[in-house]
A and B are shown apart, each in its own frame.
Chain A
Amino acid sequence: MSQLGQVVGILRKLNEEYQISTPKKLKLIDAYLVYVLLTGIIQFAYCLLVGTFPFNSFLSGFISTVGCFILAASLRIQLNKANQSTFNVTPERAFADFVFAHIILHLVVMNFIG
């Protein structure tokens, strides 16, 4: 029981830490990440329930959600001031790369979705 209490304590501390230290821009991206994650989970659950018949459509949609998640996470990492030393990229450049990758991703998704 004390372990459960420990875990709850850790989680609460994490939550506090998160609320305090992250700037608003990053919180916005985090909310977007959660949304994309939910979309992905819903798609996967649908596939499990109903079947994979147009497999390419399922793959295309699922990979689209995973791709959006990854790209948004990368953007968040690059925008985070704490990581400035590893990345050496301006926020505008990070966003431009984000848009570039998204263009490629969505063109391919549209081609693949059948």
Chain B
Amino acid sequence: MAAKVTTNQSTVNDGSGLLTTESELNPKLSSKKRLSSSSNTLATSSLLSPTGLTSLISFVVLTCAYISGFMSRLFSVIRFESIIHEFDPWFNYRSTAYMTENGFYNFLNWFDELAWYPLGRIVGGTVYPGLMVTSGVIHWFLHMINIPIHIREICVFLAPFFSGLTALATYLLTKELWSKRAGLFAAAFIAIAPGYSSRSVAGSYDNEGIAIFALMFTYFLWIRSVKTGSVFWSSCTALSYFYMVSAWGGYVFIINLIPVHVFVLLVLRRYSLRLYVSYSTFFILGLILSMQIPFVGFQPVRTSEHMLAAGVFALIQAYAFIEYLYAKLPRAGDLKQLFFGLMIMIGLGVLAVVVLLTYTGYIAPWSGRFYSLWDTNYAKIHIPIIASVSEHQPTTWTSFFFDLHLLICLFPVGAWFCIRELNDERVFIVLYAVFASYFAGVMIRLMLTLTPCVCVLAAIALSKTLDYYADTETSDMNSSPVVTTNGEDESDNESETNEKNNRNLYDKAGKSKTVTGRRGPSNGTPDGDDDANIVSSNIKTIVVICIAMMLMLLAVHCTWVTSNAYSSPSIVLASYNNDGSRYIIDDFREAYYWLRKNTPERARVMSWWDYGYQIAGMGNRTVLVDNNTWNNSHIALVGKAMSSNETEAYKIMTMLDVDYILVIFGGMIGYSGDDINKFLWMVRIAEGEHPKDIREQDYFTESGEFRVDRSGSPVLLNCLMYKLCYYRFGELQTDFRSPPGFDRTRHVEIGNKNFDLQHVEEAYTTEHWIVRIYKVKKLSNRLQAKNALRQVQRRKSIYASTKKTGQARKAGVILNKPQIKKGTKVTRK
């Protein structure tokens, strides 16, 4: 604390923004006493010391960030109920529930018979267990201290809980990169940024909720270990990387970004022994730790995605060795050329080895999921399942602004500041920014990996700006911060956070004039920093006010976006009546509950793969295909069944042993996420495997349109999906102005009404006709041959001739037939 002694001319700034001077004569001031100038009536008492105040402010800001991040994700819990959202989280929830009931080892060895009906699914080997283990540990711990919370509540609230931890990790990372002040900004930004909160609202129990925390924490530990070169921090990085590998498939991003960072540092001539120690330790421990996850298995030594890390590892070993020899040699200067040449040759050699191994097949080439990030047309042609997911579509520029608002504008500024004042760590964040921007442009889903980087760099930009503009005092002045602790109001948090970071912590704009006025006399005195007073303090104040207003707008926008766009559970729909009251549409759960209660326990349900996890989770029935989409041929079979006419589909369904079919139909209420809208993807996927039976062109009209009304293609109007969706819909008149059978989603009157189903019968339709369940009829006892000529079997007549002479039918004989001669009279004999 006594280290706050300053010299005459310079000032010491610490994180709390206090300027201590020693215009007084005695340099050995106890730091407990702070000097206040006569004009400053806000002098603090002797209880507050500079570093104490710093840590208090940091603590308060971080707590506010944690709480605001947690709260802003709770909209759907407050509006609806505490329920698991969407599709994927239902599987995660089901496996977590299984794990808490049956124990960890049974979970690792679990073979799920309820999924992928004839095939089953080896859950232990095809899932990233980090999420389930995290919830399981929290559950176990809470039950151990006798707080019996149900596992569902833990799962629902896990993501908001971890979002607060992500804010802490981002604070630590930015503190390593720049300063504590920027760290506090970054924590506040990531707590509310919609790009992150979209995937981590309460109820969204998915891998990304904990993976972003693991990502930020690993990066923080990596930067720390590069800065210190300590084996301890590198081992911690490896352990955090292990947690990330267990949590998300996006760990590939870490294991490629860190080697790129090391490689770029080598190229930029920033090699140091710290880099060698930290990367080698991290790589080798991380490698063997990552192979402990069954899903990852031997991939880190066998696939191209991990080869960059190994290549850079080999390269840095060679570099370190040659550098060591180089340092030992007395005539070092002459051999510089040799050194560089040798390094380049070794680099090329490593590359050649990797390419050779890939060619000969020892190393698998880039998998489809990652290759489609490079060649964006690949998925559309070869892997239609990847192309059909809406999250994998390219990003529009509006979604950048929608998800990040002000931060995306500050982001290049922060990157520029980092480039201008470059050191080893800032190379990393710049590389992260470059690669994350590219990936975010390729796929909407990857906006999530861009968001933390944007928050960090925007915080750096803002912090550097405010360092200059918020400093409206000269160096001779003392100031004391006014610590305002208005309650933890969610809407005020951003302005509070901002204000705490200003050097002048004033509440209203009106006060600033008097504050400046009070400091008026001292403005004339010269101070040490030349450029601190180029801009007068009035303008600086105005700039700070403008920044504060923009930040308040950011907070409002983020909350609005989270509330309106990202908080719907998608399993419960809400609409609003004319008088504004809310009307809940709960058809999905109604249908799944019906399935659970009214079907035999081992019944098999066929539906499109989107709903597989929900049916298995809520309906507890066996499904044929689900969201895991690991078996494309099976999905193609289901697609073929849905696209064929009823008889063909019946054959496939008996082959697959299906008992019930479930379709989603939105035509009655105008729900646009139904199966008819997804139908073309079913056709495309089926066509990929059965090109002779299904052709996409058949389902369009001659002019190439997809229509369900009378002019639609007859193949479409007779396929199973159409019939299942529109069965009895022709009788329904939704609105007195429109004809019966008017599809509200496609806005047309359907073409094929009043048909009968032959091989299936309707089992259940929900209240708003959203979910329709059909039972597959068994083969009938008596085969009816339609339109066949009735063949009546006659018994052989006893009067018929038994002689088997001649095949041709003998003409019948009339006994005593009179012979008739034309023209003569018949004479009777």
Contact = CB atoms under 8 A, between A and B. Distances in A.
A83 B273 contact: yes
Given A18-B328, A86-B229, A98-B231, A104 B238 contact: yes
A86 B280 contact: no
Given A10-B329, A97-B232, A101-B235, A63 B277 contact: no
Contacts of B329: 10, 13-14, 17
B678 interface: no
B370 interface: no
B542 to A, nearest CB: 44
Nearest to A21: B328
Nearest to B287: A63
A71 B292 contact: no
Q: Which of B285, B298, B325 gathers the greatest number of chain A CB atoms within 10 Å?
A: B285
Contacts of B276: 74, 77
A112 interface: yes
Given A13-B330, A71-B231, A87-B274, A59 B291 contact: yes
B272 interface: yes
Contacts of A98: 231
Nearest to A87: B229
A86 to B, nearest CB: 5
Contact of B288 (A10, A73, A108): A108
B230 interface: yes
B273 A86 contact: yes
Contacts of A70: 280-281, 284
Interface size class of A (residues with CB under 8 A): 35 or more
A59 B301 contact: yes
B235 A104 contact: yes
Nearest to B233: A97
B108 interface: no
Given A14-B328, A83-B273, A63 B230 contact: no
Interface string B480-516: 0000000000000000000000000000000000000
Given A59-B298, A83-B273, A97 B288 contact: no
Contact of A100 (B228, B235, B280, B289): B235
A67 B231 contact: no
Q: Which of B231, B234, B239, B292 gathers the greatest number of chain A CB atoms within 10 Å?
A: B231
A24 to B, nearest CB: 18
Contacts of B330: 13, 17
Interface residues of B, number: 29
Interface string B239-282: 10000000000000000000000000000000011101100110
B412 to A, nearest CB: 33
A81 to B, nearest CB: 13
Contacts of B228: 87-89
B288 A109 contact: yes
A14 B325 contact: yes
Contacts of B231: 71, 74-75, 78, 94, 97-98, 100-101
Interface string A42-68: 000000000000011001100110110
Contact of B280 (A13, A74, A111): A74
A106 B230 CA distance: 19
A86 B238 CA distance: 22
A67 B285 CA distance: 7
B206 to A, nearest CB: 28
B534 to A, nearest CB: 38
A21 B325 CA distance: 13
Contact of A112 (B235, B280, B292): B292
A10 B329 CA distance: 8
A78 B478 CA distance: 44
Contacts of A60: 288
Interface string B323-357: 00100111000000000000000000000000000
A108 B229 CA distance: 23
B298 A55 contact: yes
Contacts of A29: none
A94 to B, nearest CB: 7
Contact of B281 (A71, A93, A96): A71
B277 A77 contact: yes
A63 B235 contact: no
Nearest to B274: A86
B273 A112 contact: no
Interface in A1-50: 10, 13-14, 17-18, 21
A101 to B, nearest CB: 4
Contacts of B281: 70-71, 74, 101
B235 A67 contact: no
A17 B231 CA distance: 28
Given A77-B273, A87-B273, A104 B291 contact: no
B298 A97 contact: no
A88 B330 CA distance: 27
Contact of B292 (A10, A77, A87, A111): A111
A102 B234 CA distance: 12
A74 B298 contact: no
Contacts of B229: 78, 86-87, 89
A55 to B, nearest CB: 6
A93 B229 CA distance: 12
Contacts of A109: 288
Contacts of B328: 14, 17-18, 21
Nearest to B320: A73
A33 B232 CA distance: 20
A71 B280 CA distance: 8
14 contacts: A14-B328, A59-B288, A67-B288, A74-B231, A78-B231, A78-B277, A86-B274, A87-B229, A89-B230, A96-B232, A100-B235, A101-B231, A101-B285, A104-B285
Given A74-B280, A86-B274, 19 more contacts: A14-B328, A14-B329, A56-B298, A59-B301, A63-B287, A64-B288, A70-B281, A77-B273, A77-B276, A78-B229, A78-B277, A89-B228, A94-B231, A97-B230, A100-B231, A100-B235, A109-B288, A112-B291, A112-B292
Closest 4 pairs (CB-CB, A-B): A97-B231, A97-B232, A74-B277, A70-B280
